[in-house]
Amino acid sequence: MTVEDALIAADSGMDGIVVSNHGGRALDTPVGTMDVLASITATLDQAGAGIEVYVDGGFRHGGEVLVALAQGARAVLIGRPALWALAVEGAPAVASLITLMGSELKSTMARVGSIAIADIDASRISGSVC
Protein backbone atom coordinates (compact mmCIF):
# COMPACT_ATOMS: atom_id res chain seq x y z
CA MET A 1 0.00 0.00 0.00
CA THR A 2 3.03 2.28 -0.08
CA VAL A 3 5.59 3.31 -2.63
CA GLU A 4 8.30 2.52 -0.10
CA ASP A 5 7.14 -1.09 0.32
CA ALA A 6 6.88 -1.53 -3.44
CA LEU A 7 10.46 -0.31 -3.88
CA ILE A 8 11.67 -2.67 -1.15
CA ALA A 9 9.97 -5.56 -2.97
CA ALA A 10 11.60 -4.51 -6.25
CA ASP A 11 15.02 -4.12 -4.62
CA SER A 12 14.60 -7.58 -3.06
CA GLY A 13 14.21 -9.16 -6.47
CA MET A 14 10.47 -9.79 -6.42
CA ASP A 15 8.85 -10.49 -9.79
CA GLY A 16 5.57 -8.89 -8.76
CA ILE A 17 3.52 -7.35 -5.98
CA VAL A 18 -0.14 -7.17 -5.01
CA VAL A 19 -1.40 -3.75 -3.98
CA SER A 20 -3.91 -4.76 -1.30
CA ASN A 21 -5.36 -3.31 1.86
CA HIS A 22 -6.48 -6.79 2.93
CA GLY A 23 -10.13 -5.82 2.87
CA GLY A 24 -9.57 -2.62 4.83
CA ARG A 25 -9.77 -4.47 8.12
CA ALA A 26 -7.07 -2.44 9.85
CA LEU A 27 -8.89 0.90 10.16
CA ASP A 28 -12.43 2.22 10.16
CA THR A 29 -11.48 4.53 7.28
CA PRO A 30 -8.86 2.63 5.29
CA VAL A 31 -7.02 3.95 2.29
CA GLY A 32 -8.29 2.25 -0.85
CA THR A 33 -5.98 0.46 -3.23
CA MET A 34 -7.02 2.79 -6.06
CA ASP A 35 -5.86 5.73 -3.93
CA VAL A 36 -2.27 4.48 -4.08
CA LEU A 37 -2.05 2.36 -7.25
CA ALA A 38 -1.04 5.12 -9.69
CA SER A 39 1.75 6.45 -7.46
CA ILE A 40 3.12 2.94 -6.89
CA THR A 41 3.14 1.97 -10.58
CA ALA A 42 4.57 5.33 -11.64
CA THR A 43 7.38 5.10 -9.10
CA LEU A 44 8.21 1.51 -10.06
CA ASP A 45 8.23 2.47 -13.75
CA GLN A 46 10.45 5.47 -13.05
CA ALA A 47 12.84 3.27 -11.08
CA GLY A 48 12.94 0.74 -13.92
CA ALA A 49 11.92 -1.97 -11.48
CA GLY A 50 10.34 -4.19 -14.13
CA ILE A 51 8.00 -5.96 -11.72
CA GLU A 52 4.35 -6.72 -12.31
CA VAL A 53 1.74 -5.00 -10.18
CA TYR A 54 -1.55 -6.69 -9.35
CA VAL A 55 -4.35 -5.06 -7.38
CA ASP A 56 -7.37 -6.07 -5.36
CA GLY A 57 -9.77 -4.21 -3.16
CA GLY A 58 -13.46 -4.19 -3.92
CA PHE A 59 -13.63 -4.44 -7.70
CA ARG A 60 -17.22 -5.15 -8.72
CA HIS A 61 -17.51 -3.86 -12.31
CA GLY A 62 -15.53 -4.13 -15.52
CA GLY A 63 -15.25 -0.34 -15.68
CA GLU A 64 -13.36 -0.38 -12.40
CA VAL A 65 -11.02 -2.98 -13.88
CA LEU A 66 -10.29 -0.64 -16.80
CA VAL A 67 -9.34 2.18 -14.43
CA ALA A 68 -6.95 -0.10 -12.54
CA LEU A 69 -5.35 -1.29 -15.78
CA ALA A 70 -5.05 2.33 -16.95
CA GLN A 71 -3.23 3.15 -13.73
CA GLY A 72 -0.65 0.46 -14.37
CA ALA A 73 -2.01 -2.75 -12.86
CA ARG A 74 -1.17 -5.90 -14.81
CA ALA A 75 -4.30 -7.63 -13.51
CA VAL A 76 -7.15 -7.15 -11.06
CA LEU A 77 -7.99 -9.78 -8.45
CA ILE A 78 -11.70 -10.38 -7.80
CA GLY A 79 -11.69 -12.93 -4.99
CA ARG A 80 -14.65 -11.80 -2.94
CA PRO A 81 -17.19 -11.56 -5.78
CA ALA A 82 -16.03 -14.97 -7.02
CA LEU A 83 -16.49 -16.46 -3.55
CA TRP A 84 -19.97 -14.92 -3.27
CA ALA A 85 -20.93 -16.36 -6.64
CA LEU A 86 -19.51 -19.77 -5.70
CA ALA A 87 -21.38 -19.79 -2.39
CA VAL A 88 -24.71 -18.88 -3.98
CA GLU A 89 -24.80 -20.94 -7.16
CA GLY A 90 -21.52 -22.79 -7.51
CA ALA A 91 -19.00 -22.89 -10.33
CA PRO A 92 -21.49 -21.85 -13.07
CA ALA A 93 -22.09 -18.59 -11.20
CA VAL A 94 -18.35 -17.91 -11.05
CA ALA A 95 -18.15 -18.44 -14.81
CA SER A 96 -21.10 -16.06 -15.27
CA LEU A 97 -19.42 -13.45 -13.07
CA ILE A 98 -16.22 -13.60 -15.11
CA THR A 99 -18.20 -13.37 -18.35
CA LEU A 100 -20.19 -10.41 -17.04
CA MET A 101 -17.12 -8.51 -15.84
CA GLY A 102 -15.41 -9.23 -19.17
CA SER A 103 -18.40 -7.83 -21.05
CA GLU A 104 -18.44 -4.75 -18.85
CA LEU A 105 -14.72 -4.27 -19.44
CA LYS A 106 -15.16 -4.56 -23.21
CA SER A 107 -18.04 -2.09 -23.14
CA THR A 108 -16.02 0.40 -21.11
CA MET A 109 -13.02 -0.09 -23.40
CA ALA A 110 -15.20 0.79 -26.38
CA ARG A 111 -16.41 3.96 -24.64
CA VAL A 112 -12.84 5.14 -24.08
CA GLY A 113 -11.57 4.08 -27.50
CA SER A 114 -9.46 1.08 -26.53
CA ILE A 115 -9.51 -1.81 -28.97
CA ALA A 116 -7.17 -4.04 -26.96
CA ILE A 117 -6.08 -4.39 -23.34
CA ALA A 118 -2.63 -3.21 -24.44
CA ASP A 119 -4.22 0.11 -25.53
CA ILE A 120 -5.37 0.90 -21.99
CA ASP A 121 -3.28 3.55 -20.30
CA ALA A 122 -3.79 6.66 -18.20
CA SER A 123 -4.61 8.74 -21.29
CA ARG A 124 -7.86 6.75 -21.59
CA ILE A 125 -9.29 7.88 -18.27
CA SER A 126 -10.15 11.14 -16.65
CA GLY A 127 -12.19 11.00 -13.52
CA SER A 128 -14.43 7.98 -13.25
CA VAL A 129 -15.61 5.95 -16.22
CA CYS A 130 -17.28 3.33 -14.07
The rounded distance, in Å, linking the Cα atoms of 85 and 127 is 30
Count Cα atoms within 13 angstroms, Cβ side, for 80: 9
Is residue 22 annotated as a catalytic residue, yes or no?
yes
Those residues with Cβ within 8 angstroms of residue 39's Cβ, 6 or more apart along the chain or in another chain: 3
Angle of helix 62-70 relative to helix 91-112, nearest 10 degrees, comes to 60
Of 2, 22, 92, 107, catalytic: 22
Q: How many residues belong to the chain?
A: 130
Backbone angles phi, psi at 27, to 5 degrees: -135, 160
* Catalytic residue annotation: 22
